[in-house]
């Protein structure tokens, strides 16, 4: 039996961060497509996958689309502009890398290449499922005003740039959807006040399960599902995931990398520390302490505070905001 509903896209559409994964695509039974399918009582072809970019969607995820498809949801675009490498660069201290050029390169791709890539994908989806209602869910802002995690070094300047990039990404995705006759589901407002450092976060911060880092948790996927259902005109007293009839798609992970914490004991870190006049032995020892804290689960606030002090020193010396 063919599926009424086909879910396409990247890790946000695959439910990464929301619960136990299945297979190499890390699809979760708590992902928003499962919640939508269970609540609507429709059969779901769950094709979204970890690491997917637009090319991956076109090559590996469109097989379930057809004349009987009634609903398509899509979340994609973040990996095409290299959002994970940007996060990795921004999480590193100032002696390891200047993140501004990395962000600038992502914005060039966002503005110059992404609109065309999205337009081509929408054309292909529309041709394969001409009768389907097509919904495109965007992305939330990940951050509030400040970084709260001991092992990351996001500056306030970087957080402002990352949030502005997320807003611009949503705007590009929304315009492409509208131009293709699809409906945009804006989730950003739903996530307001629920960033990674909020009192009630709906987005995972740096996680021991690194794949989950900076992805929506169960509450976040509930918010996604409610946004999709609201766009469909459906109000549910509760979201029903267990009732979903799921047909898994191909299990071919996409090419995008996963987030990684900065390795402060690496050769690159220590070379950068030396170049900026820091005590290399101190940086190595403090980095080792943070590594132990990450393994044991016991935070080392003193080591983190000193490393952040060194980061601030380098920023002052180099004039970085």
What is the set of active-site residues? 11, 215
Residues β-bridged to residue 72: 6, 134
> CA dist 184 to 105, 136, 170, 176, 301, Å?
26, 5, 9, 9, 42
Cβ atoms of 173 and 184 within 8 Å: the answer is: yes
Give the β-pairing of 133-137 and 71-75. Answer: parallel
Q: CA-CA distance, 269 to 261, in Å (whole number)?
A: 12
Other Cβ atoms closer than 10 A to 183:
16
Residues composing the chain? 321
Sign of CA dihedral 296, 302, 307, 311: positive
């Amino acid at each position: 039996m063919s599926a009424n509903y086909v879910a396409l896209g990247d890790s946000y559409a695959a439910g990464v961060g929301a619960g136990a994964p299945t297979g190499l695509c890390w699809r979760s039974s708590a992902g928003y497509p499962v919640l939508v399918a269970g609540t609507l009582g429709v059969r779901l072809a769950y094709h979204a996958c970890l690491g997917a970019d637009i090319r991956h969607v076109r090559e590996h995820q469109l097989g379930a689309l057809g004349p009987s498809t009634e609903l398509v949801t899509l979340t994609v675009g973040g990996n095409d502009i290299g959002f994970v490498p940007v996060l990795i660069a921004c999480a590193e201290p100032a002696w390891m890398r200047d993140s501004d050029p990395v962000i600038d390169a992502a914005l060039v791709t966002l503005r110059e290449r992404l609109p065309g890539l999205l337009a081509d994908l929408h054309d292909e989806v529309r041709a394969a499922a001409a009768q389907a209602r097509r919904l495109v869910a965007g992305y939330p802002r990940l951050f509030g005003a400040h970084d709260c995690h001991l092992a990351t070094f996001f500056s306030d300047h970087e957080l402002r740039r990352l949030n502005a990039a997320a807003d611009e990404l949503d705007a590009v995705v929304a315009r492409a959807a509208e131009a293709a006759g699809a409906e945009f589901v804006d989730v950003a407002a739903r996530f307001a006040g629920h960033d990674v450092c909020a009192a009630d976060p709906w987005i995972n911060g740096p996680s021991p399960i690194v794949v989950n880092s900076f992805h929506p948790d169960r509450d976040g996927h509930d918010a996604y599902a409610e946004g999709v259902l609201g766009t469909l005109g459906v109000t549910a007293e509760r979201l029903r995931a267990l009732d979903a009839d799921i047909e898994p798609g191909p299990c071919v992970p996409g090419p995008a990398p996963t987030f990684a914490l900065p390795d402060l004991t690496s050769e690159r870190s220590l070379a950068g520390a030396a170049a900026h006049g820091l005590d290399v032995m101190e940086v190595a020892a403090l980095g080792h302490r943070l590594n132990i804290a990450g393994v044991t689960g016991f935070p080392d606030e003193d080591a983190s505070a000193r490393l952040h002090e060194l980061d601030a020193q380098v920023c002052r010396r180099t004039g970085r905001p």
